[in-house]
Amino acid sequence: MARRRKSSSGGAAAVLFFGALVLLTSIPKEVWIGIGVVAAVGFLLYLLATKYKKSPSPVSVPRPAQRDVWQSTVPSPMTQAPVGKDVLAEHLAAPRTAHMEQLSAHRIEPTLQQVQTPIAAKTSTPDVPVPISGPIVKPQATPTFRVPSPPKGFGQARWTPPGESVAVAGMVLPDGMVYVGTSLPTPYGRNDPCLIDPSKPVAKVGNYAERQTTYWPSYAEVSPDARRAYLTWLASGRRDPAADVGFVFLFFYGLERRVLLDAPVDERARFELPAIAAELRGLLSAYGAASGSFRHHAHQLLEWVELAEYPPRLYEKPVPALAEAYELPLYLRLALGQTAVDGVPVPVHIALAWARMAPTVYLRTPAQRCADEFEKMFHQEYETQCGRGIQLPHNRTKLKFSYHPASSGFRGSSEVHEPKLTFGNIPDITVLTGPTKKLQAVVDAATKPLESYSRLVGRDPAFKESLEAVLQLPEPLWPLAVREVIQNLQSRMVDGVAEMTFGALLAALNAKTIFTKEKTLALARVLEASGIGFEPDVLGEAKLPKPEDPVVVFKLPAESGAIRGGSSFHVAVLTLQLASTVVGSDNETSNAKAGFLREAVRSWQHLTPGQASRLLALLRLLHQAPTSLTALKKKFEAVELPAKEAIAAFMATLVRPDGEVSPAELKTLEKVYKTLGVDPQKVFSDVHGAAAGKRLTITPAPAKDDAGLRLDPERIAALQRDTERVSALLADIFVESEQAQGPAAASTTPVGEQPEDTDAAPTSTTLLGLDEAHSSFARMLVSQREWSREDLLDIAGDLDLMLDGALEHINDAAFDAHDIPFSEGDDPVIVNPEILEKIRA
């Protein structure tokens, strides 16, 4: 039984084992992984607990029961009681008792309240031994150190006055005007951003040309590299234009503080204001052009410095350099307000500055491009329109000035500290619109005469003092160089007259381009305005000279009167033109005849001094280039035969002062008679009658010295009577012609106005049958092969033409005349090369 019982128990065990094995194999893999992790963590905890039990327990000595204050276990040189060597050795040598082990097992942990016990409580039991744990360490000496002295400038900031220097970070900052220290409160409590704090680290090198600051820089907040760069810029003199404007602003913040916060309460700061104003001007000259923001703030602060204690009658002083802004500068507002208070007109120099600086007054390009010329024209127009000046009313709005600081030190979390200036009862005239309208009218009138000049200078600044440019200006605006050229021209005149070619005259006057008709007419007007006459008289009836043609310039008398116009003057011109054909017929006696004619001209009492001077100059011109009889024939077609016979007889009196007539002279007189339509057979009888009773000899004139020619007074008197008779006769003829043609036919053009073109053939001065303006435009087009649209716009503007319309009109004329286009394209405009050949043909 016992054996069977044993066998059955073994089978049950096998069944249980097998069942357990089945159960184990049915457990998922994830469960096994979790069991393994738990087992590993438990094993680690076991190892740590074993190691902890092996560490030695500290030896501690209980304190008296009545003390419940925790004493730190770390020795302190201020609280540790002295422990004798014998006591310490005895304590260490004592055997470890059960009581001590019990104390070690029940260690006392300090609470937060015990750790924070005051030092006074800790030092109240000096006789209690200090607990010791761990290995024995030999006591060391108590460490000692010395607190260093504060750096220079540490503490309340100090302002370095102008002219003094200060050392920061090994650098000497000359001429002061900076705050140095560690404390400089702003109106809102924090440190001022301009403060140079010596306690802040500074790098060894720094480049002030690099951007290293934020929009509102602060010395305390920039990097050490930026601090070194800023100090380097200050040490360099504060004028290097390569410096980043952020460093300029950082220095500017200090000036702002000195002016706005210190000066109102510190007399020394007020004494420094002139030096600060000079520094601001220097900064503006170095950095104003590079930064509009700095220019605006610096000019505002400069105005504050200069006008905080403003002088009376500011309008009597010269206007300093002012910066353009969104409003009229304070200096001008104050000066204008003072004129209103004092009841005086605005002086012209204040009005000019007002016009230039007021944002409500529009200055066109000519007024800005030609500033000097505009200033002269403004003076002239201001006096013309406003007399002594604009009278401003004393309006109600009072003048005030609010300064908008650049420094963030004037900015709080929700407000900005803006200092203000007031000026008593001085009004702010910028609120008025009436005075501004008057000023705008003066500006417009002063700008109009400069338009053509401005366009010419705008195309090429080198033309600024050229003759072409001067011709676009009124005489008072001529530059000094041109005045000197005209003075040199006057000095070349011998007996008030100078002869040269037209090209030489243009070269002497610094002309740079080929002269068109418009420019030649303008030149004649300019010369007359300077007291210089010009022959041929292009402002009268004469044709335009070519560069190689001779011209005569002459000095006009101071009281010249009319210098052209009127029938009597035209009769005199025609008489001299006819006479020139007779005078030039004999080269051997031409000088004597010319002298005779000059005396005759001087004897004509019906001429003004200016007309007489012009006729004498005409005589010189005719001596070099006599008028052709063919050109004169047409002018006498409307003259009646009796008048022609009288004129022919008058010409016969000019052949020879001494009564001797050469065959060449007789032949010329016959041509004159034929030109006039008078029978040539009358030449001999008229010449014989002109001898005034003297014997007339018709022989070849021998060569003789005309320098000793003596004129017969009786013959001169007779010639003068004949001249007056013929002049009166021709005057009647021309008066009738003028009445038939109307007032416009008389050439009475005053100096400075554009005369009519009275040349016989209009086709000789125009192209393709075009009018004057389009013809001039076409002539300019053919001067080069290709044009940019911008250049053509300027030319069309000078001629008061619309560019596209002018090009189309000229093309139509070219098609009508030659069946080809004049130009093609829009930008650039290409001139057809065939048109030039057609025009020349």
Q: What is the mean pLDDT of each run of 10 residues along the chain (841 residues)?
A: 48 68 70 78 77 50 40 36 41 43 41 38 43 49 52 74 94 95 89 94 94 91 96 95 95 96 93 95 93 90 89 92 81 95 96 93 93 94 95 88 87 68 90 89 95 88 79 81 80 84 84 78 82 86 85 82 71 78 61 73 79 86 79 71 74 64 76 80 71 42 40 52 54 45 37 36 55 72 72 68 82 81 83 71 51
Neighbouring residues of 837: CB distance < 8 A, sequence distance ≥ 6: none
Residue 720: per-residue pLDDT: 54
Residue 362 structure tokens: 């529009």
How far, in Å, CA of 314 to CA of 414, rounded? Answer: 38
Residue 734: per-residue pLDDT: 44
Alpha helices in 661-762 (DSSP H): 663-676, 683-690, 713-741
How far, in Å, CA of 405 to CA of 420, rounded? Answer: 11
Neighbouring residues of 658: CB distance < 8 A, sequence distance ≥ 6: 712
How far, in Å, CA of 130 to CA of 160, rounded? Answer: 58
Residue 753: per-residue pLDDT: 38
Residue 360: per-residue pLDDT: 85
Residue 53: per-residue pLDDT: 55
Neighbouring residues of 651: CB distance < 8 A, sequence distance ≥ 6: 578, 579, 582, 669, 672
Cis peptide before 479 (omega within 30 of 0): no
> What does DSSP assign to residue 411?
B
Residue 649: per-residue pLDDT: 76
How far, in Å, CA of 330 to CA of 126, rounded? Answer: 78
Neighbouring residues of 41: CB distance < 8 A, sequence distance ≥ 6: none
How far, in Å, CA of 539 to CA of 388, rounded? Answer: 37
Q: In b/e form, how buried is each residue of 593-625, taking b as 16+ CB within 10 angstroms?
A: bbebbeebbeebeebbebbbbbbbbbbbbbbee
Residue type, 13: A
- Helix (H) / strand (E) element for 754: namely none
Burial class (CB in 10 A: 0-12, 13-18, 19+), 564: buried
Task: Please report the sign of the dihedral spanned by the C-alpha atoms of residue 648, residue 653, residue 656, residue 659.
Answer: positive
Residue type, 312: P
729 contacts 650 by C-beta, under 8 angstroms? no
Contacts 24+ apart (CB under 8 A), 66-69: 67/125, 69/114, 69/117, 69/121, 69/122, 69/124
Neighbouring residues of 704: CB distance < 8 A, sequence distance ≥ 6: none
Q: How many secondary structure helices (H) and strands (E) does the chain include?
A: 33, 14
